[in-house]
Amino acid sequence: MDHKSYRKQTHYTMSANPSFGSDELGISKGTILGDHHMVEAFLGEGSFGVVTKCRDTKNNKTVAIKVNKSDPEILLQAKLEIFILEQLRRLDPDRCNIVEWNGYFLDGERICLNFELLDQSLSDYIGDRNNQGLPMREIRPILHQLANALFHLGSVGIVHADLKPVNIMVVNRSESQVRVKLIDFGIACNTSAVIPGDCVGTIGYCAPEIMLGTPYDEAIDMWSLGLVAVELATGVPLYPGEDDYDVLKFIIETQGQLPDHLLESGLYTDSYFIEDNHNEHVETDIKRRCTHNHTPQGELHPDPGGVTLFPAVGRGRPPRLRSSREAPHSRPQSDGQLLLAPPLQQAAENGGGRRLQTSLHPLIVVLMHMCSKVQKTQEGMELPAKEQQVSA
């Protein structure tokens, strides 16, 4: 990656018209995975391996098999995913709008995860409508189902960390009312295991907490849900950009300054922001940006009584961000303004990767409120007394 070393660098897409194979893994149509799963088609691929459509020759059932490469790092990630999926067995997949996991098996040294076969990704579903957006009568139930999924993930203390249209599947597009399920728990984790500075998610969908390296929890999924909501309505992502630097600029330009406490707790804040005491320069700079971007100047409201953040002009993109084991020097205290800027070339060891207490910030409060309303409509939402017994 050019920038942050994201834990997950390549994502797979469930394509309605797959046109690729997997020479690297030695898998082709007709290959038998494990003892009784015959490959019928390829659904997607990524740095981890491939996702195949398979028929179980024992019961003639069609399933989706995620075949992980035998690379040690990928095998470790697959084991972590299994750890999360085992916890999700406490949830009813249909009631909770999450993909049903049927266990795992080995194909040589490769770990294969067995999932129910779903129709198409929400990304493809939007694309089938020429990226013009969906009508509100479709958007409402989709968001309701996704909020339901996140509510149940939170009830068992799990952060998905990569919510986006590609990781949301339409169960059956021929149904009168669209049903969706959340998939891909490859970088999901327990809330209690979150480490500030761990780079997860996808550029354009991850919350500012991730980009800045601050403490986070399941609230980051609520941020992503808001971005998905906009994309459902418009047909295009809200925050385009090649890297986190671009996305942060878009966020600040559209939503205003980031909260001070978010900046103070960020391991990577100094990679994006510098302090500048030249208020006149800031005022001129922001006016020039508003004019250049055809943005009404009244949409941005700097607070003269506090710290205000503005994107810098013509400073370029920062190089690859430091890893989560590194942290910038303490940011000097000042009464000056903060400007978005290329990273400062400084790094120091992070004190043992200590975990900090998480807190919400104002940018996601509205989304949390929206989802809390959905949660209140859920009646009798109690987890099953026993875990589901799902055979591999």
Would you name the residues annotated as active-site residues? 162
DSSP 328-339: PPPPPP-SSEEE
Report the distance separating Cα 242 and Cα 231, nearest Å: 18
Alpha helices in 62-204 (DSSP H): 72-88, 122-127, 136-155
Tokens 């149904």, residue located: 175
The total of other beta-carbon atoms located within 10 Å of residue 267's CB is 21
Question: What's the DSSP call for residue 65?
Answer: E
Distance of CA 106 to the CA centre of its chain: 28
Beta-carbon contacts of residue 7 (< 8 Å; ≥ 6 apart): 77, 187, 198, 199, 200
> Angle at Cα 53 formed by Cα 51 and Cα 55, nearest 5°?
135
Q: Where are any strands of DSSP class E within 118-246?
A: 120-121, 158-159, 168-170, 180-182, 189-190
66 annotated binding-site participant: yes
Binding residues for ATP: 66
Binding residues: 66
